[in-house]
Structure 1
């Protein structure tokens, strides 16, 4: 049972150290490979033409962003 407590304590120390390092550096969490950009894929689906639902979603987001920009000015 003492081996379990020692191992558990070591894991807690490592996780705590990682958490403190993350808080101190204030860096965003990112994947180790850098995402799909290095592979030449700009979008998740990599479709030549987005579907209608995505076009509507993007248009709605653009309108909302434009509205926000106009409210600030």
Structure 2
């Protein structure tokens, strides 16, 4: 049990140190390669005309927004 507590404390100290370092540097969290913005894309689907599945999802979302209670 003592070994478990020791390892847990070490992990806790490491996570705390990483979070303090992150806060001090004032950087935003990003992926390892910068994500799709590194490819010059603004969104995941960069098509001019959405596919049928995307159109269906957009129609369902619009219907949901229209029927929701304010």
TM-score by length of 2: 0.60
Query: Could you say what secondary structure the match of 2:35 adopts?
Result: coil
Partner of 1:23: 23
What CA deviation, in whole Å up to 9, does each residue of 1:10-34 have, x standing for no partner? 1100100011101110111111121
1:2 aligned onto 2:21: no
- Aligned-pair RMSD on alpha carbons? 2.1
Partner of 2:65: none
Q: Tell me the number of residue pairs that the alignment of Structure 1 and Structure 2 aligns.
A: 52
- 2:48, 2:34 → 1: CA distance? 22
Unaligned runs of 5+ in 1: 54-73
TM-score by length of 1: 0.58
